[in-house]
Chain A
Amino acid sequence: MATLHVLSHSPFTDSRLSSCLRLLGSQDALLVCGDAVYALQAGSAQLQALELMPEAIALYALDEDVQARGLELPARLTLVDYPAFVALSCQYSKVNTWL
């Protein structure tokens, strides 16, 4: 019973990302979109935390949000477009959106 966790708020302004990382299941996945893609910012503690996730946990980001912000991409990241986002939402048994 794996869950796709969707984050859309900046990881620098509140604790959604750190809370999410704390309660992530071993087969769960994380998708960042909107300002949450700033978690991929090179040199930040937030990216370090993402890099420390177990390999089994997939990390996705919405391509257009990454492009808009001009970020460099970590190796373990998979970029997705909106159709792929929808496909992922169906693939996991639950979607937890951190509104």
Chain B
Amino acid sequence: MSKSLLIISRQAPWSGPGAREALDIALAGGAFDLPIGMLFLDDGVFQLSGAQQPASLQQKDLGANLQALPMFGVEALYVAQRSLEERGLQDHPETLAVERLDDAGLSALIDRYDQVITL
């Protein structure tokens, strides 16, 4: 039985490689059928907002790559409700099917996984 891994992605999408690297780990793990979960926390929740135009910064569309997560078998996707509220995003739909969790839900989530990595 492989150990389960929770990836916590807390970087905004366009300022550095953090967001993409977290996604790459998730996709690689998914490709090998590892039990992977992904949590969007803090500025990481901006990865899920719509109407982004990365081409204006000559960047590739991270949002399109996020859509690949379920195809790679990574379906345990979560977002921190508090992070959404702090950023005024609580009424905006996410671009990906993610489950919203409150603070208690977050600690329960981390408890459920064997290993955790935060990027």
Contact = CB atoms under 8 A, between A and B. Distances in A.
Interface string B1-23: 00000000000111100000000
Interface stretch (A20-28, A36-44, A51-59): A36-44
Contact of B14 (A41, A42, A47, A69): A69
Interface residues of A, number: 19
Nearest to B86: A12
Interface residues of B, number: 22
- If over half of A's interface residues share one DSSP class (helix, strand or loop), that class is named, otherwise mixed; here it is helix
Chain B CB within 10 A, most for which of A12, A44, A69:
A69
A63 B56 CA distance: 9
B54 interface: yes
A77 to B, nearest CB: 16
Contacts of B91: 43
A68 B42 contact: no
B43 A70 contact: no
Contact of A10 (B15, B50, B51, B53): B15
B43 A12 contact: yes
10 contacts: A12-B87, A35-B12, A35-B15, A41-B89, A43-B87, A43-B89, A43-B91, A44-B88, A47-B88, A70-B52
Interface of B: 12-15, 42-43, 46, 49-54, 56-57, 59, 86-91
